[in-house]
Homo-oligomer: A and B are copies of this chain.
Amino acid sequence: MNSGTTLIRGGWVIPMTDRVIYDQGSVWVKDGAIGGVFQKGETLPEAETVVDATGCVVMPGLVNTHCHSPMSLFRGLADDMPLASWLNDHIFPAEAAHINPETVRAGALLSCVEMLLSGTTTVCDGYFYEGAVAEAVREVGMRGVLAHGVIDFPAPGVPDPAENVARAIEFVEAWKDRWSLITPSIFCHTPYTCSEETLTKAKEACRRLGVLFQIHIAETEDEVLRLKEERGISPYQLLDDLHVLDEATLLVHNVWMNHDDMALIAKRGATASHNPGSNTKLASGLCPAAALMEKGIHVGLGTDGAASNNRLDLFGEMQLTAKIHKAYSLDPVAMDAWTVLEMATLLGAKAIGSGRYIGSLLPGKRADIILVDMNKPHLTPVHNPVSHLVYAATGSDVRDVFVEGRQVVKDRQLLTVDVQAVMNEVHRIAKAIK
């Protein structure tokens, strides 16, 4: 018997290393890493713990490339209204009145619980008081690329905008190499809410510290048109002029863009987060994700925060991606199931700078693994497990979850925190918000 080993055996193993499915395959986990992937009939190594995956898909944990995890506090608070009213009349006032380290931690904990239970093992997050988010991520036992927010207005925890980049740097320094599952990062809000100086300073700090730079960009037509009128350039050209675009820059939303923008992103090696749930609900439009991927750009999927989606379920995001791109292009071959599954796993991992560690079941990578139970009426029969993952499953079908080899969800029960207590705490905070 090997110490610290787990054998997950007998499922449809979808390693995402290639477009293959191993029927009745197995995955061996050793010391928190993928030890091996085995096909039916191969000799299996011994293991301390054996998990029967019969009737389940065994695949890499999903990667959520964009979230504001504390915003679950505002889930359903304001819907079906114009973006400006949603932000100015509801979300910003609620944030100003109710956001503090305790509420951030409570909201982040709720989001992490929701994400782990629905098969997301890694979240790329950005908010204020991000240290409190990091504490929540650590407590629940998931993986995170966690960014402190930077904006040139007074913000929660950063009353003086002159200190915004310094505060973000403090966060990165505090969490760098502190816990193996957490990678810090810096998130500049947008090219129109951050000055050129702020953007430059923040990116320079990211380069020096070796961390990911993130930014919302081209989410609405208005912001793109305004910059075009004022400066004659696109937001991507603006970032490039400031030397902000490189392989460690994650561009979030990317709805209003043209082929020159795409070519520029591809040339610089920057990556993209596609958030179809949020972009449709807020009527922002649709990111040309297929065209971006054709140019070799790594595009992952993101849920955005629960105030604008309203669910942090990447299965829902996959289904929406596969369907809405077909409807927009009137091409039923667009965004096939395999492509969408890659976006939710390996491409997402690459987009957030973690492709070497996660996103597939390649031996040596960290063992972030989920089991999706196909023994459900809505997933019967199983002509094609990949089709079911994208077109029929939801997060509620995830049975077991492992992060770095540690089982954190078993038979749909979270093993790391008391879920009812997490919900009760958010209910208590929500009463004050409403």
Contacts and interface: CB of A to CB of B under 8 A. Distances in A.
B110 A427 contact: no
B81 A391 contact: no
Contacts of A387: 75-76, 79, 310
A231 interface: no
A332 B281 contact: yes
Interface stretch (A35-43, A123-131, A392-400): A392-400
A417 to B, nearest CB: 11
Contact of A378 (B77, B279, B282, B312): B312
A280 interface: yes
A225 interface: no
A208 interface: no
B323 A391 contact: no
A433 to B, nearest CB: 7
A194 interface: no
Contacts of A388: 75-76, 310
Contacts of A382: 76, 427, 430
A200 to B, nearest CB: 33
B391 A309 contact: yes
Contacts of A306: 392
A293 interface: no
A423 B377 contact: yes
Contacts of A430: 381-383
Interface residues of A, number: 75
A299 B258 CA distance: 37
Contacts of A18: none
A21 to B, nearest CB: 12
Copy tally for this chain in the complex stands at 2
Contacts of A337: 79-80
Interface in A410-434: 419, 422-423, 426-427, 429-430, 433-434
Contacts of A113: 377
Contacts of A336: 79-80
A98 to B, nearest CB: 12
Contact of A381 (B75, B283, B329): B75
Given A326-B280, A377-B113, A332 B422 contact: no
Given A76-B392, A82-B332, A396-B396, 11 more contacts: A74-B383, A75-B383, A80-B336, A113-B377, A285-B327, A312-B378, A377-B419, A377-B422, A380-B426, A382-B427, A383-B434
Interface of A: 72-77, 79-83, 86, 110, 113-114, 117-118, 221, 277, 279-286, 306, 309-313, 316, 319-320, 322-324, 326-327, 329-337, 375, 377-378, 380-384, 387-388, 391-392, 394-397, 419, 422-423, 426-427, 429-430, 433-434
18 contacts: A72-B380, A75-B387, A75-B392, A76-B381, A77-B384, A80-B337, A114-B378, A277-B323, A283-B331, A284-B330, A310-B388, A311-B391, A316-B319, A316-B394, A320-B320, A380-B427, A383-B434, A394-B396
